[in-house]
């Protein structure tokens, strides 16, 4: 999934870096933020500079690093100006020592002064040895921070620098990036709204070795799930395929067959309809129109099948047409290759399946299955909006914009 160069345009991120071996990952995090259009300023502890020099961050961010040695009150290079400037403060990596000091409002370094002076949301990504991060005092410190304006990213279980295998590794830079993006881009409409997305092509069993399917990549569904996650929604993505750079905090259910998709979708819809905000369904999956009428156990032998193999198919259930849409905004997706009749077919789908909108995709050129870009016609009963060719995450945000108008 392509992350748009303007995803975080005009967003100002203050990145705090403390003395952990994971500091090298913060260079990648800086790159992710800047490539998404954010303006990044870095404040480093003296311990962090034992691992990485300020020059590395200055090269990637294009801004001078703030530390204990260079604060100035004759310009904007000080902890008060930096914290007034920022839209969010991210500390990654955040050592156990830093966590303990933050929870006790200690401000004996430039980075800690920034944390104490910054009134907005702070995201910290802990990084420590397993016994240190699981120490009851540090765990109490973390709970104190959670009760204030701090959000804590989950550490990972893996082999640490000390050769211990256990909890304590800093979250991947990509996951910290998505966490910060959600904090920056969340809106009141989608915040805590339950939204279900289906994606990818279903896989229908012939026998235990063979199946029939289609070329749907699931990329559009992953993009919509990512846009919804960034917008603050409670997202459930049900799909046969997922993009590798999907945010880990998105609730995902991997399915294969259309029957599995139906069962998972019905359970998710039942739970979503109990929520206060009206839920939404984006049905982007390419569900098989026909499935094998008699799938076999084991493997069909070619010696038994002979020179020709006749496969009997039966019409599959129409998931989108059959589900109860009462109390849920439902968006269908229509892939067409017949450009002349595509709009008419999409309009029929809108009416016949009682949908609130249809996203029409005419498969041609760069808009074919598996591509990283697409163009969409967003069709409702009252109007039609053309969304020009763009990367799929940018398209997803445009689809959400039009979906809010029909809610």
**Residue 101: CATH number of its domain:** 3.40.50.1950
> CA angle 174-237-122, nearest 5°?
40
Residue 267's alpha-carbon distances to 16, 153, 183, 258, 395, in angstroms, are 42, 29, 29, 14, 28
Q: Which residues of 375-385 are buried (b: 16+ CB within 10 A; e: fewer)?
A: bbbbbbeeeee
pLDDT at residue 390, as a whole number: 94
| pLDDT band for position 247 (cuts 50, 70, 90) | very high
pLDDT of 397 strictly over 90:
yes
- Residue 185's nearest CA partner among 10, 320, 319 is 10
For residues 106 and 239, membership in a common domain is answered with: no
For residues 324 and 194, membership in a common domain is answered with: yes
Residue 297 contacts residue 208 (beta carbons within 8 Å): yes
pLDDT of 174 strictly over 70:
yes
pLDDT of 237 strictly over 80:
yes
pLDDT at residue 201, as a whole number: 94
Percent of the chain with pLDDT over 90: 86
Residues 133-159: what's their mean pLDDT?
94
**Helix segments in 119-245, DSSP class H:** 130-133, 136-146, 173-185, 219-230
pLDDT of 37 strictly over 80:
yes
| pLDDT band for position 106 (cuts 50, 70, 90) | very high
**Helix segments in 273-340, DSSP class H:** 302-305, 319-322
Domain enclosing residue 217, as ranges = 187-406
pLDDT of 163 strictly over 90:
no
For residue 342, tell me if it sits in a domain.
yes
pLDDT at residue 165, as a whole number: 86
Angle, in degrees to the nearest 10, between helices 173-185 and 219-230: 60
For residues 245 and 369, membership in a common domain is answered with: yes
What pTM did the predictor assign?
A: 0.94
Residues 121-150: what's their mean pLDDT?
95
For residues 318 and 193, membership in a common domain is answered with: yes
Q: How far apart are CA 293 and CA 328, in angstroms?
A: 32
Of 30-34, 92-96, 322-326, the poorest mean pLDDT is in: 322-326
For residues 114 and 242, membership in a common domain is answered with: no
Q: How far apart are CA 161 and CA 198, in angstroms?
A: 39
> What residues have CB less than 8 Å from 36, skipping those under 6 apart?
3, 4, 5, 6, 7, 8, 177, 181
Residue 42 contacts residue 30 (beta carbons within 8 Å): yes
For residues 224 and 89, membership in a common domain is answered with: no
Strands 313-315 and 329-336: unpaired
Instruction: Take residue 117 and report the two structure tokens written for it.
Output: 């002076």
Residues 7-18: what's their mean pLDDT?
98
Q: Dihedral, CA atoms, 371, 279, 152, 1, nearest 10 degrees?
A: 0
Percent of the chain with pLDDT over 70: 99
Residue 186 contacts residue 230 (beta carbons within 8 Å): yes
For the segment 296-348, what is each residue's pLDDT rounded down to a tens digit? 899 988 888 888 888 999 999 999 999 999 999 999 999 988 888 999 999 99
For residue 6, tell me if it sits in a domain.
no
For residue 48, tell me if it sits in a domain.
yes
Residues 34-41: what's their mean pLDDT?
98
CATH number of the domain enclosing 401: 3.40.50.10300
For residue 362, tell me if it sits in a domain.
yes
Residue 87's alpha-carbon distances to 3, 65, 99, 376, in angstroms, are 20, 17, 21, 32
For residues 165 and 232, membership in a common domain is answered with: no
For residues 216 and 357, membership in a common domain is answered with: yes
For residue 4, tell me if it sits in a domain.
no
pLDDT at residue 407, as a whole number: 73
For residue 59, tell me if it sits in a domain.
yes
pLDDT of 265 strictly over 90:
yes
Q: Which secondary-structure segment (H or E) carries 389?
A: strand 384-391
Write down which residue in 151, 184, 217 finishes a domain.
Answer: 184
pLDDT of 366 strictly over 60:
no
Residues 232-247: what's their mean pLDDT?
96
For residue 1, tell me if it sits in a domain.
no
Q: Per mean pLDDT, which of 117-131, 148-162, 301-315 is the most reliable?
A: 117-131
Q: How far apart are CA 229 and CA 80, in angstroms?
A: 32
Residue 355's alpha-carbon distances to 81, 184, 294, 304, 363, in angstroms, are 50, 31, 32, 47, 22
CA dihedral sign of residues 5, 7, 12, 13: negative
pLDDT at residue 20, as a whole number: 94
Residue 271 contacts residue 255 (beta carbons within 8 Å): no
- Measured in whole angstroms, the distance separating CA 7 from the mean position of its chain's CA atoms is 13
Q: How far apart are CA 179 and CA 162, in angstroms?
A: 27
Q: Which of 162, 230, 312, 359 is catalytic?
A: 162
Of 69-83, 161-175, 176-190, 236-250, the poorest mean pLDDT is in: 161-175
Please indicate whether residue 162 is annotated as part of the active site. yes
Q: Which secondary-structure segment (H or E) carries 348?
A: helix 342-352
* Number of alpha carbons in the 13 Å side-chain half-sphere of residue 116: 14
> CA angle 150-152-154, nearest 5°?
175
Residues 43-54: what's their mean pLDDT?
97
pLDDT at residue 76, as a whole number: 86
Residue 254 contacts residue 222 (beta carbons within 8 Å): no
Mean residue pLDDT across the chain: 94
- Residue 277's nearest CA partner among 329, 242, 336 is 329
Bridge-partner residues for 378, per DSSP? 359, 385
pLDDT at residue 184, as a whole number: 98
For residue 82, tell me if it sits in a domain.
yes
pLDDT of 246 strictly over 90:
yes
For residues 243 and 142, membership in a common domain is answered with: no
For residues 89 and 214, membership in a common domain is answered with: no
pLDDT of 38 strictly over 90:
yes
Write down which residue in 138, 166, 184 finishes a domain.
Answer: 184
| pLDDT band for position 365 (cuts 50, 70, 90) | low
Residue 226 contacts residue 393 (beta carbons within 8 Å): yes
Structural domain count, the chain: 2
For residues 25 and 125, membership in a common domain is answered with: yes
Write down which residue in 153, 184, 215 finishes a domain.
Answer: 184
For residues 332 and 242, membership in a common domain is answered with: yes
């Amino acid at each position: 999934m392509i992350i748009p160069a303007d995803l975080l345009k005009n967003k100002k991120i203050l990145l705090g870096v403390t003395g952990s071996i994971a500091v090298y990952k913060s260079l990648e995090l800086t790159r992710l933020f800047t490539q998404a259009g954010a303006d990044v300023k870095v404040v480093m502890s003296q311990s962090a500079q034992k691992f990485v020099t300020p020059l590395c961050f200055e090269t990637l961010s294009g801004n001078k690093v703030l530390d204990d040695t260079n604060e100035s009150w004759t310009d904007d290079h000080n902890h008060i100006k930096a914290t007034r400037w920022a839209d969010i403060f991210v500390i990654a990596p955040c050592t156990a020592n830093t966590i303990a000091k933050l929870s006790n409002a200690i401000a004996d370094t430039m980075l800690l002064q920034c944390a104490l002076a910054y009134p907005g949301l702070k995201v910290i990504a802990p990084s420590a040895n397993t016994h240190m991060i699981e120490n009851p005092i540090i765990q109490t410190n973390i709970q104190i921070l959670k009760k204030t304006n701090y959000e804590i990213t989950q550490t990972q279980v893996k082999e640490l620098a000390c050769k211990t295998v256990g909890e304590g590794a800093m979250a991947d830079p990509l996951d910290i990036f998505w966490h910060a993006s959600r904090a920056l881009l969340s809106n009141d409409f989608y915040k805590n709204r339950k939204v279900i997305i289906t994606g990818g092509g279903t896989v229908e069993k012939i026998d235990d070795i063979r199946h029939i399917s289609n070329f749907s990549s699931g990329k559009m569904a992953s993009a919509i799930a990512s846009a919804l996650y960034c917008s603050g929604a409670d997202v459930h993505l049900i799909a046969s395929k997922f993009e590798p750079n999907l945010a880990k905090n998105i609730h995902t259910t991997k399915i294969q067959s259309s029957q599995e998709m139906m069962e998972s979708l019905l359970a998710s819809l039942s739970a979503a309809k109990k929520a206060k905000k009206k839920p939404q369904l984006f049905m982007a999956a390419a569900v098989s129109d026909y499935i094998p009428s008699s799938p076999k156990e084991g493997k069909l032998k070619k010696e038994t099948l002979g020179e020709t193999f006749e496969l009997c198919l039966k019409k599959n259930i129409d998931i989108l047409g059959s589900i109860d849409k009462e109390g849920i905004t439902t968006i269908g997706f229509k892939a067409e290759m017949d450009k002349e009749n595509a709009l008419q077919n999409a309009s029929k789908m809108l009416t016949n399946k009682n949908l609130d909108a249809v996203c029409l995709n005419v498969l041609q050129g760069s808009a074919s299955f598996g591509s990283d870009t697409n163009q969409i016609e967003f069709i409702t009963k009252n109007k039609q909006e053309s969304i020009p060719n763009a990367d799929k995450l940018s398209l997803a945000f445009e689809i959400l914009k039009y979906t809010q108008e029909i809610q």
